[in-house]
Chain A
Amino acid sequence: MLADPNMQWIFLGCTLLGLSSGVIGCFSYLRKQSLMGDTLAHAALPGICIAFMLTGIKSIGLFLIGAGIAGIIATFGIGYITRNSKLKQDAAMGIVLSAFFGLGIVLLTLIQHGSYGNQAGLDKFLFGQAASMIASDVITMTVVCISLITVCTLLFKQFKIISFDPGFARGIGYPVAFLEQLLMLLIVVAVVAGIQAVGVVLVAALLITPAVSARYWTDRLGLMVVLSGLFGAVSGAIGTWISASVSNLPTGPVTVLAATLLFVVSILFGPQRGLVAKRLLRKSVKQRYHRENELQLEGSVKKEAAL
Chain B
Amino acid sequence: MSDFWILLTGALVASCCGVLGVFLVLRKMAMIGDAISHSVMPGIVIAFLLSGSRDSLLMMFAALLCGLLTTFLIQMFQQSGIQSDASIGVVFTALFAIGVVLVSLYARQVHLDQDAILYGEIAYVHWNIWELGGVNMGPKAVWLLGTTLLIISTVIGLFYKQFKLCAFDPALAAAIGIPVALFHYLLMGLVSMATVSSFESVGAILVVGLLIIPASTAYLLTDRLGLMIALSVAVGVASTFLGYGAAVLLDASIAGCMVCAAGFLFILAFLFSPSQGIIIKKLRIRKLA
Contacts and interface: CB of A to CB of B under 8 A. Distances in A.
B101 A97 contact: no
Contact of A94 (B33, B38, B89, B270): B33
A98 B81 contact: no
Given A35-B31, A98-B259, A109 B253 contact: yes
Interface string A94-114: 110111011111111110010
Contact of A127 (B100, B119, B212, B252): B100
A24 interface: no
Interface string A262-284: 01000100000101000000000
A113 B119 CA distance: 15
Given A34-B89, A90-B28, A98-B213, A109 B252 contact: yes
Dominant secondary structure of chain B at its interface with chain A: helix
Contact of B98 (A81, A205, A257): A257
Interface stretch (A57-65, A206-214, A297-305): A206-214
Interface in B5-26: 25
Given A106-B257, A260-B94, A35 B30 contact: no
Contact of A102 (B88, B220, B259): B259
A269 B119 CA distance: 40
B191 to A, nearest CB: 13
A102 B93 contact: no
A201 B263 contact: no
Interface in B244-289: 247, 250-253, 255-260, 262-263, 266, 270, 276, 278
A266 B126 CA distance: 49
Interface of B: 25, 28-31, 33-34, 38, 77, 80-83, 85-90, 93-94, 96-98, 100-101, 104-105, 107, 114-115, 118-119, 205-206, 208-209, 211-213, 216, 219-220, 247, 250-253, 255-260, 262-263, 266, 270, 276, 278
Nearest to A91: B30
A257 B90 CA distance: 10
B83 to A, nearest CB: 6
B263 A202 contact: no
Given A249-B105, A256-B94, A81 B270 contact: yes
Contact of A101 (B220, B259, B266): B259
A34 B104 contact: no
Given A34-B89, A87-B220, A109-B252, A273 B80 contact: yes
A127 B114 CA distance: 9
B82 A209 contact: no
A254 B100 CA distance: 9
A47 interface: no
A115 interface: no
B86 A105 contact: no
A205 to B, nearest CB: 4
A84 interface: yes
B31 A86 contact: no
A55 interface: no
B256 A109 contact: yes
Contacts of A98: 34, 205-206, 208-209, 212-213, 259, 263
Contact of A106 (B82, B94, B98, B253): B253
Contacts of B33: 94
Given A38-B89, A263-B90, 14 more contacts: A35-B89, A86-B276, A91-B30, A94-B213, A95-B263, A98-B263, A103-B259, A113-B251, A201-B205, A205-B94, A208-B93, A212-B82, A212-B87, A256-B94
